[in-house]
Amino acid sequence: MSESPIVPSFDSPGSEGRKLAIICSKGNLDMAYPGLILANAALGEGVETHLFFTFWGFDIINKATMADLKFSFVGNTAMHLPGHSGLGIHHMLGALPGATAGATAFMKKQIADLDVPEVPEFLDLLSGSGCHMWACKMSADMNHLTMDDLYEGVEAIISASDFIEKTEGAQLLFI
């Protein structure tokens, strides 16, 4: 029996000031989730987290598209039926009419079955957890979008250099 209780080191000095920056550059459903999930995990560990949405990643925070991201298996040679890793599906079958809609509906169901929220609600979760969300200026200009078009948790439309400045010392992920 130990004298003083063993206590988890929740506030270990080593993690003090840790920052994570994630650049979300893709707008496919299956490419949106990794960034959101990792951001959520980091926030839950007390890590200051910044997301930078750029190029197709803009669709994740564009109010017109964020609830309607799609999953296509064209070009994904690793595609197989869920739970049947040995049974490949030829990725070009994904080009058939309706394949993307079907694959998207299926993936959304799998995600919902795990009690993981859809993209807009996921953004609410991140926002409530104190996530910093930034939109890329060049992407906004290319798409003729302003702050009014974007998810309300986005703090500002900023340039790439501003993002680099804000995330000084951060660990960085490009997705």
Partner 1 sequence: MPTTTIAGHEVEVNDEGFLTKPEQWTEDLAPELAKLIGLELTEDHWSLIRFLRSDFAAQGETATLRRVSAQSGTPVKQIFALFPAKPAKKLAYVSGLPKPKGCV
Tell me: does residue 46 bind partner 1 (CB under 8 A).
yes
What long-range pairs does 138-141 form, CB within 8 A, spacing at least 24? 138/54, 139/53, 139/54, 139/55, 139/57, 139/58, 140/58
SS (H, E, C) 126-165: HHHCCCEEEEEHHHHHHHCCCHHHECCCEEEEECHHHHHH
Contact with partner 1 (CB under 8 A) among 75, 88, 102, 130: 130
Phi, psi (degrees; rounded to nearest 5) at 132: -90, 125
Tell me: does residue 128 bind partner 1 (CB under 8 A).
yes
Pick 11 or 148: Cβ nearer partner 1? 11
Tell me: does residue 110 bind partner 1 (CB under 8 A).
no
Tell me: does residue 10 bind partner 1 (CB under 8 A).
yes
Pick 21 or 43: Cβ nearer partner 1? 43
Angle at 61 between CA 76 and CA 170, to 5 degrees: 85
User: Contact region for partner 1 (CB under 8 A) — 44-52, 71-79, 144-152, 159-167?
Assistant: 44-52
| Residues in touch with partner 1 (CB under 8 A) | 1-2, 5-8, 10-11, 37, 40-41, 44-46, 114-117, 122, 125, 128-130
